[in-house]
Every structure is written in C-alpha cells, then in structure tokens.
Amino acid sequence: MNKIFISLSILLSVFSYHSFAQQFATIKGTVTTSNGKPAAFISIGLKDKGLGNTTDDNGNFTIHRVKPGTYIIKASAVGINASEKTVTVAAGETKVINFILVENDQALEEVTIAGKNEKYKISLPSATLRLNEPLLEAPQNIQIVSSQILKDQQIISMSDGLIRNVSGAVRLEHWGDMYTNIQMRGSQIQAMRNGFNVVSSYWGPLTEDMSFVDHVEFVKGPAGFMLGNGDPSGMYNVVTKKPTGLNQGEVSFTAGSYDLYRTAIDLDHKLTADGKFLLRLNAAAQTKASFRAFEHNDRYSFAPVLSYQLTPSTKISAEYVLQNAKMTEVGSYYIFSTNGYASLPREFTFTQPGVDPTRINDHSLTLNVTQQLGENWKLTGQAAYYKYLQTGSSSWPSAVYSNGTIIRNVGIWDAESTMKLAQLFINGTVKTGSIAHRILAGFDGGKKNYIADWGQSHDLDLASAPFNVNSPNYGFPSNGYPNFDRTTSLEQRAIAAGGLMDQKYLSAYVQDELGFFNNIVRLTLAGRYTYVSQSSWGGSPDKAKHVTPRVGLSVSIDKNTSLYAVYDEAFTPQSGLLRSGETPKPITGNNKEIGFKKDWFDGKWNTTLSVYRIMKQNELTSDPSNKAGEVYSIVVGEKRAQGVEFDLRGELAKGLNLIANYAYTDGKVTKVADGVSSDVLYVGQVVPGFAKHTANAWLTYSIQDGTLKGAGISGGFTYLAGRAVQNYSSVNANENLPNYFKLDGGLFWGNKKVKVTANVFNVLDKYLYSGAYYTGYFNAPDYTQAVYSWQAEAPRNYRVSVAYKF
C-alpha cells in the first residue's frame, strides 16, 4: 500500500511540475555586433519586470519562467546604445529573439573586460590602446595580465611579481616598492596609465597600488600609434578600474610575513536607477615592514571614478587617484661590498634607524569623453593632470673600503613633478569596394616638469669611525644625523642643484588597417609626426622633430590562427650632460618582427610566438668613469637586441588555468660612438640588465564538484639564466650574475561570496638578488678595487587573504 501511495505521489508531483512548467515560457537568443561577432556580458531583461540574464562568452542568453504575455525585451550595457524589441509569448513556448548591436568591438570592450574579470585570457585590448580589433588580429605581440591573475598571485603593487606573467620582462634595480622600472627586449620600457605616458624623470612614476588596477597590458616593440615618443622595446599600460553598471562590491584583508597588514575595498554602484550615472570607488591601506631591520613601507590609496551617459552616444567620466606613501629613505635596499655579490647576509642593512622617512603624495585627475559618431565611428578625448610631491632622502655610500668598512651618506631628495597631458583620437571603419578599412587618427600633447633638490648630503660616519660590516653598530651615528636646509623653496634649491627636467611634446598620427578577402588579410600602414623639446640637469632645451613610419601585416589562417609581421620605428629625444659639451642626438631605432598567434579550444587559451630584432642608435648611458657626484653620460653608438618569445595563457581544462612563457634575449653593443674609449665600451659588449633566458609558469587548479568544490592549489616558478649586471662596466663586462630560480605556491578556497587565498613565496628559501658593478665611483683613500652592489629579495614568506563579495 505504501509503495502504491509513494508511486502515486511521485506521478502526481511530476504531473503537477509539468503542468506548472507549462504555465511559463522561455526566451532565448544571441547578441552579436554588426560585424557578426558575439557580444559577451550584455544585460538582457524584460523592461520593468525585474526578470533577465547576461549573455555568455558566445553572446547567448536564456530567460526562464516568463509568464504568458507581451513584453519589451531590452539589451543594454554601459557605453552602448540600448536595443529594444517587443515580444509575445504563450504558455510553454520557447521564443528565440536575437539582437544585433550597431556598436563595434571597441564600444563593447569595457563591458567584455568587466565580465571577464575571472579569466586568465583577455581577447580585446583596452580602449586606451586605441586598437579597434581583437588581439588575435593585431600585427603586434600584446600580453595582458588580468585582474584574476593579480588576485590569485596576491600581487599588491606593480613591483610585486607581476612581470612573471609576461615573457622576457625583468626588473631593473628598483629601490624596492618605489619605482617599477621594467626591462624588456634589452631596454627599460615606458610606463603608461590609461594610455598616457606617465614617465617624468629617469626613475619613473610611483609604482601603482593594485587596489585600483583592473589589468596591465604589455605592448612589445615600438608602439608609435600609442605613444608620442617611446622606446623601441615597448611599454606597459596600467588600466584602472571603471564602473561596470552592476551593483557589486568586494572587501578584502591580507596579512603576511614581516608585519604586512592590508585592507582594500572595491565599490561598484549605479547612482541612478536608469544606470546612466555610475560610481566605482577603490581604496586600500597597508602597513608593511621588511626582512631587513628598520625598513617600512606604509601607504594608502583612494581612487573614485564617476561616469555619466549624457546621451545614448555620449559618455563622460572623471577619475581621481591618490597614493600616499611613507617609507624608508630611498636606497635602503642596497648592499655594498668589495668582496663580491652576496658576500653579506641578505638581511644585512646599511640603513640607519632615526633617519627621517621619505613621504610621497601622488595625485592624478583624468577626464574622458567618448562620442559615438553614427554606427561606425567613435571620437575619444581625454586630459590628465598629474602631481607628484616627495619629501625625503636617499642613501648611498661616500666610500667603500676593502677592509669591510664604509662611510654611509644620506642625501636630500625633495621632488615635485607636474604633468599636463591631452589626447584626441578617432576610430572608425569604412569600406571602399571590397576593402575594409579600420582607421585610427589623432593628436597627443603634453607638458612635463620635474624639479628636485639632491644638492645636500651628509655623511653619517666619520672617516675616523666608519661603519664596520663585521661589527655593525646601529646606535647614534658617529657624525650625527643630517639637518637639511629647507628654508628656501624647492624650485630655488632645484635650480642650485641642477635638478631640473622638463619636456614638451606634440604629435599627430594616422593609421589605416586595410582588410582584404573578407578581412582575412590585413595590411597596416601608419605614420606619426612628433615634435619634442626637453632638457635635464638644468641644461638648455634639446629640440627635435621626426616622422616615424609603421608597416604591419596580419593574415588569418583560420578563425583561431593568425600570422603577423611588423616593421616599426621609434624616436625618442633625450637630454644629458656629455663631457665634450655636445648636445645629445635623439634615440632612433627600429623593430623587425614576425609572429604566430593561436586561440585553442574555442578561445579558452592562447599562444603567441614571436621573433624580433631591434636596432637602437645614440642611446645615452651613465659614464662608468663617473666619480662621486658626477652625472655625465656617454653615447652608446648602436646596440642590438634580438630574441624569441613564447607566451601561453588561459584555461586548459575546466578549472585548470595556466600561464607559461619563455624568452631568449641577446643584447650587445654593435657600434661605439666616436670619442668613447674602448676601455669603457667595445663592440660585442653585453647590454646591461637583461637575462639571456627567462622562463615563468603559474598553474592553478580548482575542484569543480563535490564537497571540496571551490578549493584548489596553485604554484609557479621564475627562472633566469645568463643575467647581465645592471650597468655598463668594462672591467667585468662579461661577468654574469648567477642563475635565478624562485618557486612559489599556495592553496585557496572560494564560493560566490567568499575567497580565501594563501601563498608561500620563495618556497626554497634561496638567496635571490640583482646587482651592479661600479669602478671608480666611490671616493676612498685606499681604493684598490671596484665595488659590488646588490639588492636582496625576501626569504621564504607568506600571505593570507580573505575577500568577501557583496
């Protein structure tokens, strides 16, 4: 009897459910752009009914449980024109409704980026790169480090292990967390933020805190259509977080070794119900000590962004970023010895407790306006104001003796940087017969001023009582503490110290990518005119103007595979002091490159292989024969960088994500400028700062089902071999730094609301460092040999983060 009752109950339940289901309808469909490509992460909803969904990677959507009736179904996203259709559905019906959005790929870019924040692979560049095409079709090697990578690897600043995700990128000597200074393809690359070149001095901008960073784009080779002027080796572009039109937020807390405590919050909200007025607010605060005594790096950041959809085709946004840092004096990270690299313990420090910290306030304000001009054209204008204020000092020895003693010196370093930058460019598509054109044209202009007082210094130690590395005494220094004179204005002090740098530039450019055979073959023709006037060290302005061409070819073998070739030139005016008194010539250079790109398994992961050769003429470098206090430069007649790079990133299988890369780099001096002694530079000499072989990998696996769903494991390594020292030195020009191997790994667990991440860095506890070799620089009475300088990395250390989404 019970079995019959149970059977009837089940039968009635199934019948009731079926009858219940028959009372509702389903609406599904696909959203594509006007050129037939799927539009991901578009909001699809029934107007005024609160029922809807979002398109997936392929542009598909489904809305379940729709009551019979007539509705208006709406497709919308931030920055695009909404599209509406009327639909009538009956009970039990499945209605198919498709949308074609008239906006192009670039208009949908920020929606796609926002929706793919949990991906390792991003297929579209940001709008600030000005490319109106997928990365697969671009005739250049561009690698993007996504926001999910930043979270998984617990990267909290630009200088915090981020470059492991890009082939061939290495760090130069970097003063810890203050400046990023990345070298790639044999030279230091330019630093950009949202498409603006933010380098105002030789040291680069303050490294960005990751709290307000969405992702980072690395562009390899010259990027004349992106820069007013820049290095032929490439650049990186930090793309900040923008409002997405979704009401969401996240708060996180991180704790780690050496008293690291950090809190960050990300608020993303619609300020009006119609979604026209949006806010994104990111803020973070941290305290951080070091494995070296007396060091600290405390900072906070505050970054609100407002955007307003003024009309269906006009959008305005305003972004403000404040970074405040209080840190140990610049240079506290260096160790010096005449006995060779790593001859002192890695936790050793020459820093004197009691020296005033360096304080930095870094402000920026950016205004952006986009105007859709019909279906196929878009005009973008943006302006930015950057203000950097620094009050502090730097440490560098006055003398290093062979008996293990040293005279420590602290010099003033007060600085102010002001940048006013503007851009106006237009993107569009047009057809002439069977040829499709992707047009880019625009103007860049800017004015940069950097002033600094480094004209005052103070020896902490007396010659009669030097600092002894074998018996360090961190008590009151024998010569007391510095008392710098700040009674006069910074500008007056900077003039007296020669600490003046400025740059004015204006450029115009045009690029046409011609698509043949239904856009299977794409030929890029471009040119840029640049005028620059700049000076340094208080000297007279150096002026130059130049036209740089660009030719690229990209061919689609199939929808997932492309080959490319590019020839590009760079032009970079430079300033410096030559002993001869001559005016330095601008840097000129060119890049010849071929590459192969492929998306695998419906674009889940991607590989890029490139081969390049860069020739660079007239570059200035610090004169290796400089004595203490001298800032003379010499001209490197010509240098060559060539190599092979391979990058892989994406989801290999469900829950299994991999980033792997390898680069072979060969950099040598190929010509020596007239008047430069062969004792200083010679043909065949290794270019400083690069590693001949670099290999990186980061693998993450998360369990997809069962009790442990959401848990996972991650790990990765960095390997560098054939590491050149960080500066030119004729004495030991061919001496390499030892090979470098760093292993990291961790565990994580998460669900829709909570994510816990724990990582161990430098698992093998290796003594890792970068270094340089100085001859003749330090003043020492018994000076008989050169000095080794290096910066050690942290021993094995830990971080744990907890993030909550709301």
| Spatial CA neighbour of 269 closest among 299, 218, 304 | 304
Alpha-carbon distance of 598 to 650, in angstroms, equals: 12
> Taking the alpha carbons of 767, 738, 156, 711 in that order, is the dihedral positive or negative?
negative
In the β-sheet with 405-407, what is the strand arrangement from edge to edge?
A: 399-400, 405-407, 467-468
CA 635: distance to chain centroid? 29
CA 497: distance to chain centroid? 33
Residue with tokens 């040293």: 406
Antiparallel, parallel or unpaired: β 234-240 and 190-193: parallel
**DSSP 8-state secondary structure symbol assigned to residue 228:** S
For the chain, the first-to-last Cα distance in angstroms comes to: 51
Identify the three-state secondary structure at position 542.
strand
| Spatial CA neighbour of 572 closest among 607, 631, 614 | 614
Residues in CB range of 804: below 8 A, 6 or more apart: 250, 251, 252, 753, 754
Q: Which residues are bridge partners to 54 per DSSP?
A: 43
Domain definitions of the chain by residue range = 22-107, 248-410+427-477+509-805
Give the pLDDT of residue 15: 40
Residue 600: phi and psi, rounded to 5, are -115, 145
Give the pLDDT of residue 35: 62
CATH of the domain spanning 22-107, picked from 3.90.70.10, 3.40.50.720, 1.10.760.10, 2.60.40.1120: 2.60.40.1120
Give the pLDDT of residue 13: 45
Q: Return the structure tokens found at 736.
A: 């390499």
Q: Return the structure tokens found at 290.
A: 């070091």
Q: Return the structure tokens found at 465.
A: 């009582």
**DSSP 8-state secondary structure symbol assigned to residue 38:** B
Contact of 149 with 160, CB cutoff 8 Å: no
Strands (DSSP E) contained in 257-313 are: 260-270, 277-287, 297-311
| Spatial CA neighbour of 641 closest among 660, 622, 619 | 619
Contact of 248 with 268, CB cutoff 8 Å: yes
Return the number of other C-beta atoms located less than 10 Å from residue 698's C-beta: 24
Return the number of other C-beta atoms located less than 10 Å from residue 48's C-beta: 9
Contact of 783 with 806, CB cutoff 8 Å: no
Residues in CB range of 39: below 8 A, 6 or more apart: 31, 32, 33, 55, 59, 99, 101, 108, 111
Give the pLDDT of residue 408: 95
Contact of 40 with 58, CB cutoff 8 Å: yes
Count Cβ neighbours within 10 Å for each residue of 614-649 and write b for 16 or more, e otherwise: bbbbbbbbbbbbbeeeeebbbbbbbbbbbbebbbbb
- For the domain spanning 248-410+427-477+509-805, the CATH number is 2.40.170.20
Give the pLDDT of residue 166: 96
Identify the three-state secondary structure at position 2.
helix
Alpha-carbon distance of 545 to 530, in angstroms, equals: 5
Alpha-carbon distance of 265 to 287, in angstroms, equals: 16
Give the pLDDT of residue 187: 84
DSSP letter for each residue of 355-406? SPPEEEEEEEEEEEEEEEETTTEEEEEEEEEEEEEEE-EEE--SEE-TTSEE
Residues in the chain, total = 806
Question: pTM of the entire structure?
Answer: 0.85
Residues of the chain with pLDDT under 70: 1-22, 34-36, 50, 57, 77-81, 102-118, 173-176, 204, 223-230, 575, 624-630, 678-679, 729-735, 776-785
Identify the three-state secondary structure at position 495.
helix
Per DSSP, the chain holds a count of helices (H) and strands (E) of 4, 48
The CA dihedral of 780, 781, 786, 789, to the nearest 10 degrees, is -20
Element (H, E) at 390: strand 377-391
Q: Which residues are bridge partners to 99 per DSSP?
A: 31
